[in-house]
Structure 1
Amino acid sequence: MKIEWAPVHVPPKRRLQTLAAGLYVMIFMLMPGLSLLIITSLLYYGNLFWKLLTLAYLTFVYFDHTRNFSDIHGNGFMIFRSNCIWKHFRDYFPIELIKTADLSADHNYILASFPHGIIGTGITCNMSRDIRQWLKLFPGIRPKIGTLDMHFYTPIFREALRYWGMVSVSKESLMHYLSASNHPKHPDNLDGFTSNAVAILVGGAQEALDSHPGRYILTLKRRKGFVKLAIRTG
């Protein structure tokens, strides 16, 4: 495979956009493995303090995960979700969020997203990274994305996902967010938001494997669980 180097005259802004897009890919490729490497190293090479602290953290991860939802009810850390890095990431493509209907903040929503793509870049831009446009178009509604449950068993990496507004796509987790109270004075809504919008990539891993340039192959026939959840939660 021939490597094509970028021309010298590429504007600095475009180079920053490319760097941000590369960072996004590297995070998902390397961070899970690096997280496990750090934990293993602390357990093997750390002194007694670090070993006990690591064991305590792993215990917390296990029991915290059994509740099927995150303590972060709001939008995570906004500095993680909307900053200059993710703005450059969005502008690399570019990606635009277009509103076609009003969504009331008095209800919770499950949103079906497709196609999946390799790592769900489009939906990630709109509902996880650089969410300023979402908050402007849909005030009062927290954007969240459902991802594989196993990611929330991965130490360190799971914390980054939570702060980026990602939640487990398990049935129990989705039921929690879709059944949440919309009352402004409810303890979960003290952040000023009253609604959750959880996006799921319906096609899952199968659809991701069918990703090809210029072609959209959707996996929908056997993926009706999200419809049942929508009916159950109103």
Structure 2
Amino acid sequence: MKLLGFEFAPLFIPFERRLQTTVVFQWTVSFIFLGFSSLGFFIFLFFTRFYYISVAYLAWYVYDFNTGEQGGRRFQFQMNNPIWRYFRDYFPIKLIKTVELDPSQNYVVGYHPHGIMSAGAFCNFATHATGFDKIFPKIRSYLCILNGQFRFPFFREYLMSSAIVSVTKRSLSWILQQKEKGNFLVIVIGGATEALEANPGKFILNLHKRKGFVKIALQYGAHLVPVYSFGENDLFLQMRSEKRLWVKNLQLKLTKLLGFSPPIFHGRGIFNYTFGIMPFRRPINTVVGKPIAVPLIKEPTQEDIDEYHKKYLTSLQNLFEEYKGQYGIDEMQHLVFQ
């Protein structure tokens, strides 16, 4: 039903779709608001008769401060939580394997594109909803995110209950130097700047100057793996800034200052399909490419880093070209690295 330019959802739809919408709404609100809300709640408790909760948690927070950089604290129940299957089916999200992964190796994985909220990265690699543990047996995934997210009280516990860790060099090194191999470290390489380019039909990746992930792969002999999620950029509509350069310049300055991007975007609502903060129902197909063998070089030179960075870009480009036709992308469309 359409009213005042809005397309509203039917009154009667299958209960399962209602559950999918509820779970995705919870995740979206958590992504946008839960960090600062938990900080506000933590401070608020200090001024109530329940102040002892914040005092006790503060002691725990100090004691546990580095856990996000030491492999996190995943819970299998949360990884296998049934609610993530509703999250998966909302879009839906699929994980596609192209080759087997050797559990005797470690992997540094580039996830592309960033999109607005990296929904595919979360579902595929921070949960088992798409069957990562079955598709790649004996491989342990980690989704690496900004370290600042682990500074929010309470929220950090929610993050670490899934396979989420900090993306700092210290964090990556801690995991890669463990005796147990088969670690699969997923980094959303393009970062906050790339999120500002997330729009349907755009394939712009912020990669030319992003080489830190290659350096750490060389330092630990971890194989590089390109991953491309077809559909990640289709979940939201973002205000285009080509004709409003002052807006884009402001966004870039805020991104540099804050560490995260402030895109101006919208998706759909809970009860309408036209406008809101929830992602549109668009399929996401996440293709895991072939690993690039990387030698162990404790002190790689810039030439070493540039060589394997170039190999990575070529492999990612080939992955995109091979699979784009299967997911409705025009033959004339190509990845643009900037």
TM range (shorter): 0.7 to 0.9
Query: Any idea what the Cα deviations from partners look like across 1:179-221, whole Å, max 9, x if unmatched?
Result: 2212xxxxxxxxxxx5211100000000111111222221000
Give the direction of change, closer, same or farther, for the CA distance of 1:59–1:220 in structure 2 (3 Å limit). Answer: same
Query: Any idea what the Cα deviations from partners look like across 1:61-112, whole Å, max 9, x if unmatched?
Result: 5xx228832453xxx1122122221101101111111111111111111110
Q: Matches of 1:51 and 1:213 in 2, distance apart?
A: 43
Within-5 A mapping of 1:188-227: 194-227=181-214
Give the direction of change, closer, same or farther, for the CA distance of 1:14–1:133 in structure 2 (3 Å limit). Answer: same
Could you say which structure has the larger radius of gyration? 2
**Counterpart in 2 of 1:230?**
217
Q: SS at the partner of 1:45?
A: coil
**Counterpart in 2 of 1:36?**
39
Q: Matches of 1:50 and 1:223 in 2, distance apart?
A: 42
**Counterpart in 2 of 1:166?**
164
- Matched-pair contact (CA < 8 Å) for 1:127–1:134: yes
**Counterpart in 1 of 2:238?**
none
Q: Matches of 1:2 and 1:79 in 2, distance apart?
A: 43
**Counterpart in 2 of 1:89?**
87
Q: SS at the partner of 1:98?
A: strand
Instruction: Report how far residue 132 of structure 1 moved.
Output: 5.7
**Counterpart in 2 of 1:101?**
99
Question: Percent of aligned pairs with the same residue?
Answer: 37
Higher strand residue share: 2
- Matched-pair contact (CA < 8 Å) for 1:90–1:130: no
Instruction: Report how far residue 130 of structure 1 moved.
Output: 3.2
- Matched-pair contact (CA < 8 Å) for 2:80–2:128: yes
Q: SS at the partner of 1:96?
A: strand
Give the direction of change, closer, same or farther, for the CA distance of 1:66–1:138 in structure 2 (3 Å limit). Answer: closer
- Structure 2, unmatched stretches of 5+, are 222-338
Q: SS at the partner of 1:140?
A: coil
Give the direction of change, closer, same or farther, for the CA distance of 1:43–1:179 in structure 2 (3 Å limit). Answer: same
Query: Any idea what the Cα deviations from partners look like across 1:35-68, whole Å, max 9, x if unmatched?
Result: 112210122223563353143134235xx22883
Candidates 124, 127, 137, aligned match of 1:126: 124
Q: SS at the partner of 1:22?
A: helix
- Structure 1, unmatched stretches of 5+, are 183-193
Q: Which amino acid aligns with 2:204?
A: I
**Counterpart in 2 of 1:65?**
66
Instruction: Report how far residue 157 of structure 1 moved.
Output: 0.7
Q: Which TM-score applies when normalising by structure 1?
A: 0.86
Candidates 15, 18, 21, aligned match of 2:21: 18
Q: Matches of 2:133 and 2:114 in 1, distance apart?
A: 23
- Between the two proteins, the alignment pairs up a number of residues equal to 218
Query: Any idea what the Cα deviations from partners look like across 1:126-167, whole Å, max 9, x if unmatched?
Result: 111334610001111111100001011111111111111111
**Counterpart in 1 of 2:292?**
none
Higher helix residue share: 1
Give the direction of change, closer, same or farther, for the CA distance of 1:3–1:230 in structure 2 (3 Å limit). Answer: same
Instruction: Report how far residue 5 of structure 1 moved.
Output: 1.6
Q: Matches of 2:50 and 2:20 in 1, distance apart?
A: 41
Give the direction of change, closer, same or farther, for the CA distance of 1:26–1:130 in structure 2 (3 Å limit). Answer: farther
- Matched-pair contact (CA < 8 Å) for 2:145–2:165: yes
Q: Matches of 1:85 and 1:152 in 2, distance apart?
A: 23
